[in-house]
Each structure stands twice: as structure tokens, then as C-alpha cells.
Structure 1
Amino acid sequence: MGLKTYDVKHCANTVVKLTGKGLDTAWEKAVVLSDFISAWDPEPVKKIEFKALYDDDNFYFLFKVYDREVHIDKTDDTNASINESDRVELFFRSDTNLSPYYCLEIDPSPRLMDFKAYPNRNFDFNWNWPQEDITIKSDIQDRFFTVEGAISLKSLSDLKLLKNNKIETGVFRAKYNKQPDSSYEPTWISWVDPQTPTPDFHIASAFGVFNLCQD
């Protein structure tokens, strides 16, 4: 069985304007990815819409997450605080060996937790995506929040993530739910079912393929 695929449309002769709200008309051309699941939780997943586009310079992405109770840990701006917050995630791998792969975890603020990773949850938090090659904006409304971003194609190519117009990608969401004791516990949501008994996105079976379509 082949990897799950998503077609990234080419937006020629235009640059997607990022506002955090996902309002640029270029997004109307994008394919809507909405078949997200929580393989380890019987509760239905609230609606999530993901879109991606690319032009000659950048890969663009947009999450629209329907949620009236967004949880953001405001202890500080460290990775530990982001890790306790609602967030969306994109993982990119160079090959099925996951050696290495790269993780972008973004809360609705937006705060970015970016790191390089290796198999068996060997994380390098000293690594960061080059700042000049990534832009992220967000917005929170009553019924949903949006996270919008751009990543340079050059950086994807330099990291050996963009090959033959394909990017092997994991698309995820962490939803933190308030418990009776006022603590928060996550529900883990993904595009691809990793087929694991417990939640785990840091394995090869959690990835699909983004196809950068030609005009």
C-alpha cells in the first residue's frame, strides 16, 4: 500500500500574502485536506482544514482549526510552554530512515518549536529552521484559529526534503482538553493513521507525501 498523498497546487505569477487569517484569494485554488483522525480516541475530531500552495520561491501552508476552547500555556515562551499548548505540526523527512527529519510545532500565538530529530525520539533542540527561510502568522477567532506560513523552497531543497517535486510530510494537531482536576491532557490528531497502539508521530508510518503539481 502506497503512502497517502496530497496535491500542492502551483500559484503562478503571484505571491501569497500572509496575514495569519488565510484570506488571500490564492488559497481558493488550494486542495482542502480535511480527513484528520485521532486513531487512539473514540471521540469525533473537530473540523480541521489544511491547505498548501507553492510558487517559484516558497511553499505555503494554512491550518484552519475549529475550536471554541483554545488552550495556550502562557507560563513563558519556552519549548516546554509550547509543548503544553494546542498546536499544529508539520514534520518533514528526507527518507524513511528518519535520519534526520525536521519538526515544526506551532501554537496559535504563534510560537514556533522547531527542531531536528532522529529515530527513537532523539531531538536536537539546538537546531532551528533558518529564520530568513520561514514566516509564520496566526489569528484566533471565536469558532476557530488559523496558522499560516511560508517556507522557502531553497531551504527544503538544502535539507534534502524536496526531491522530484515531492515532500514527505506528517501533518498533525495536538488538542489539550481540560480535566476535572483543572489539568490538561492532549488528544493527538493526524492526517495519516500511524497504526500504533499508543500515540506516536515520530515514526515512518506517520508520514504521507505532498506532490508539488506542475501547471
Structure 2
Amino acid sequence: MKNMKKAQKIVLICFAVILLLLCAELLLRPRASKNSLATLLYNWGKYRSASKIWDPLAEKHDADAIPKGNAAKSRYRQGDYDSAERLLDEALKDGKEQARLHYDRGNAQYRKDDLDQALESYKAAMLADPDDQDAKSNYELVLNRKGYKKPQKEDYQEDEQEQETPQNDYDNTLNALDEQESLDRQRQDHQTQIPRERWW
């Protein structure tokens, strides 16, 4: 019986400590708690409720782009693409450029049928994160919707001069991303090489 009471006391103490830590988290970091609650509501599909929590957090003029990006996603899900784009523009000004914010802005612009701006946003997302396959796919989708198609090899003629066209811009962007990825891999390989010992 003594062991049982001792185990119950330990469990009760652990529970009290956890509860105390949660209360401290709520008191000391209310912003993180609100963000967590809004994320939970967003994941449940309650976008308006999530917006009610994220909007005041997004209105604060600090360098944290996360609440603005989250509020923009919620607005996007509600069909308010203009507001989502505005919030994403603010988020990009506040923080360092983030590929996901550019991608989300491109989605909002695409929904508004602002295809040229959507292309620019997807391009910025790909340049910020060359591994972002979603941005690349959406970039190609917008190009296809605008009527551009990737030229086939037989379409090229060697004696023609290259002209600056949106198709060339498309190819140049994809080639630049491939080169950037190659350079990143080379830098990474170079940094991981073990230095040779000196012979003297």
C-alpha cells in the first residue's frame, strides 16, 4: 500500500508540474499560445475563427512575418484574395524573404487572375528555395494557362537568333535554378572535404 500511495503522489506531483508549466506558458508567452490555438482552428477548417485570433497578431508592427502569413492563409481560404495578398506583401517586407510567402502570394494572385504577378511570385519562391516543387509546378501551370508551352528540341533551329520572349524567360529561369542548385551542391561538397595534412 505504501508503494501505491507513493506512486500516486509522484503522478500527482508530475501532473501539477505539467499544469504549472502550461499556465506559465500561457502567461509568459500568450502570443505563442494564441498562435497555437489559431493553428488548431485553421486545421479544423474554422478559418473565420482562426482569422479572429491571427488578425490582431498580424496587425502588430514587429518583424515577425509568421502571424501575417498565417492570417493571409486564413483569408485565402475564406476567398478574400486581395486581403491575403496585402498581408503577404506586408509579411515579406517585415521579414527576410521566405519562399513559402512568395508561393502563397502567387496562389492569391492566381486566384485573382493576375497571372503576370503570379508568375513573378512563383519565380521569387523558386529563387528563394530551388527545391520547391510546388512553386515550379504552379509556375508551369500559369505559363500553360497563358498559352506558353515548353518548346520541343525539334522546334529549335540553330541558325535563328534567340529573341527575348516569355518562353525564353521561362527556360532561363529554370536553367538558373538548376545552376543554383548545382552551385549549392558544389559548395556543400567543398565544405565537407577533409583537409589534407601538411607534409612538413
Higher RCO (CA-CA < 8 Å; seq separation 6+): 1
TM-score by length of 2: 0.22
TM-score by length of 1: 0.21
Task: Identify, as 1 or 2, the structure richer in strand.
Answer: 1
